Amino acid sequence: MENMLFPIIALVVGFVLLAWSADRFVFGAATVARNLGVSPLIVGLTIVGFGTSAPELVIAAFAAWDGVPDLAIGNAVGSNVANVGLVIGLGTLIAPLTVRSQILKREYPVMLAAMLFALALMLDHELSRLDGALLLVALLGLIAWTVRIGLRERTDTFAKTMDLTPADPLDSEYTKELAIRVGTRTAMAWLLVGLVVLSASSRLLVWGATEIAHVFGVSDLIIGLTIVAIGTSLPEVATAVASGFKGEDDIAVGNVVGSNMFNMLGVLGLPVVMHPTAISNDLLIRDMPVMFTMSVILLFMAFPRRGGARITRAHGLILLALYVGYGALLARAVT
Which DSSP letter does residue 311 get? E
- Which residue ranges of the chain lie beneath pLDDT 50? 157-165
Contact present, 205 and 231 (Cβ < 8 Å): yes
CB contact set of 217 (below 8 Å; sequence gap of 6+): none
Give the residue from 29, 69, 52, 44 showing the smallest Cα distance to 283: 69
Q: How many CB atoms lie within 10 A of CB 144?
A: 10
CB contact set of 335 (below 8 Å; sequence gap of 6+): none
Helix 2-35 and helix 234-246, axial crossing angle in degrees, nearest 10: 50
Give the residue from 220, 240, 275, 285 showing the smallest Cα distance to 75: 220
**Model pLDDT, residue 161:** 45
* Tens digit of each residue's pLDDT (9 = 90 or more) over 290-332: 999 999 998 888 876 666 678 889 999 999 999 999 999 998 8
Spatial distance between the Cα atoms of 75 and 18, rounded to a whole number of angstroms? 14
- Domains defined for the chain, CATH in brackets: 2-334 (1.20.1420.30)
User: Which helix (H) or strand (E) element contains residue 310?
Assistant: strand 309-311
**Model pLDDT, residue 285:** 94
Which DSSP letter does residue 278 get? E
Contact present, 20 and 197 (Cβ < 8 Å): yes
**Model pLDDT, residue 176:** 66
How far is C-alpha 141 from the chain's CA centre? 18
Spatial distance between the Cα atoms of 310 and 100, rounded to a whole number of angstroms? 9
Spatial distance between the Cα atoms of 218 and 209, rounded to a whole number of angstroms? 10
Spatial distance between the Cα atoms of 79 and 125, rounded to a whole number of angstroms? 21
Burial of 181 (0-12, 13-18, 19+ CB in 10 A): exposed
Q: What 3-state DSSP class applies to 135?
A: helix
Contact present, 30 and 40 (Cβ < 8 Å): no
* Tens digit of each residue's pLDDT (9 = 90 or more) over 88-127: 998 888 888 887 777 777 788 889 999 999 999 999 999 9
Contact present, 236 and 255 (Cβ < 8 Å): yes
Burial of 65 (0-12, 13-18, 19+ CB in 10 A): middle
Give the residue from 104, 232, 237, 250 showing the smallest Cα distance to 177: 250
Spatial distance between the Cα atoms of 308 and 322, rounded to a whole number of angstroms? 24
